[in-house]
Amino acid sequence: MGHENPSGSNIKITVATDTDAASSAGDLDTIARRVERISEENQHLFAQLLEGERRFRRLAKGVWKVQEEERRRLALELHDGIGQTLTALKHQLQRLEDRVDPELSQAFAELVDIATGALNDTRELSRLLRPPVLDDLGLLAALSWLQRTLQQRVGLEVSLSDDGFDDQRLDTDIETLVFRVVQESLTNIVKHAEVSKARVALKREQSSLTIEIEDKGKGFDFESKMSAGGSNDSSGLRGVRDRLALFSGTLSVESGKKSGTRLTMHVPLPENDKPGG
């Protein structure tokens, strides 16, 4: 409440009275209620955000699974469709090779070679699209197959170690995820690192899986390659990071000109994938 200044000047002196105290308590009450309402709204928005993110992940995982399913179907189609046709063609040519005139027999031998080459390419493409060993025997067997293939095809010597698996398989989606990220990382080593050796180490722990992929090659600047301004032609490493994120996994990259490149990935394991689970 305002009181007249006894000196007669126009300055007002404000003295708090009981009524003022009551009204400020009321103000405080209002503010407290507003703060409470705002925090409730925040909680609600946060929950909505989380739900949105969960839905997005579910959707993105769904797209990814459809893509893998499509690869599996194509691989089978290539193997059983074109693959079988080429096998029949090759056998037919081989049969005729013995019967034709000697001057044509050389030409037939060449046709057999071409058919054999096409058949091998088809089988290899089919396996690269989706190695059946991944579905039949699991991640470790599929990685051994990849190790052999890279050694034979491009001379990359991969040392492969697994720790804590005890012959147990992982969730199918996680096995596919790990196979794909290792496949992309090793392909990158072949394409960019300029080395003939690489190391892949898997470690299965209580609630997570760690994957390390290392080379002693020429290295690169990860941040600039992954930044928005980086080349849009490259989608491999971004794909690795995004796929891992779908499974709440992480990717970290250490790379330097003299030290080579080391990718470290962590993937949380679903409850029933924990060792002994």
Ligand X SMILES: Nc1ncnc2c1ncn2[C@@H]1O[C@H](COP(=O)(O)OP(=O)(O)OP(=O)(O)O)[C@@H](O)[C@H]1O
- For 183-201, letters b (16+ CB in 10 Å) and e give bbbbbbbbebbebebbbbe
| Contact call for residue 192 and ligand X (CB under 6 A) | yes
Residue 189 interacts with, from ligand X, Mg ion, none (CB under 5-8 Å by kind)? ligand X
Q: Which amino acid is at 218?
A: K
Any residues with CB less than 8 A from the CB of 163 and at least 6 apart, and which?
Answer: 201, 202, 203, 204
| Contact call for residue 191 and ligand X (CB under 6 A) | yes
Minimum distance, C-beta of residue 221 to ligand X, in the bound complex (Å): 8
Choice between 39 and 234, CB closer to Mg ion: 234
Minimum distance, C-beta of residue 213 to ligand X, in the bound complex (Å): 8
Minimum distance, C-beta of residue 85 to ligand X, in the bound complex (Å): 30
| Contact call for residue 234 and ligand X (CB under 6 A) | yes
| Contact call for residue 199 and ligand X (CB under 6 A) | no
The H-assigned helical ranges of the chain are: 18-77, 83-97, 102-129, 132-136, 139-154, 172-188, 222-226, 236-246
Q: CB count, 10 Å around CB of 275?
A: 13
Burial class for 202, CB neighbours closer than 10 Å (0-12, 13-18, 19+): buried
Query: Which residue number places its CB atom closest to Mg ion?
Result: 236
Choice between 86 and 156, CB closer to ligand X: 156
End-to-end CA distance of the chain: 73
| Contact call for residue 193 and ligand X (CB under 6 A) | yes
| Contact call for residue 188 and Mg ion (CB under 5 A) | yes
Residue 153 interacts with, from ligand X, Mg ion, none (CB under 5-8 Å by kind)? none
In this chain, which of 123, 144, 145, 236 binds Mg ion, going by CB under 5 A? 236
CA distance 77 to 70: 10
- Residues in contact with ligand X by CB under 6 A are 188-189, 191-193, 215, 217-220, 225, 234-238, 261
- Residues in contact with Mg ion by CB under 5 A are 188, 236
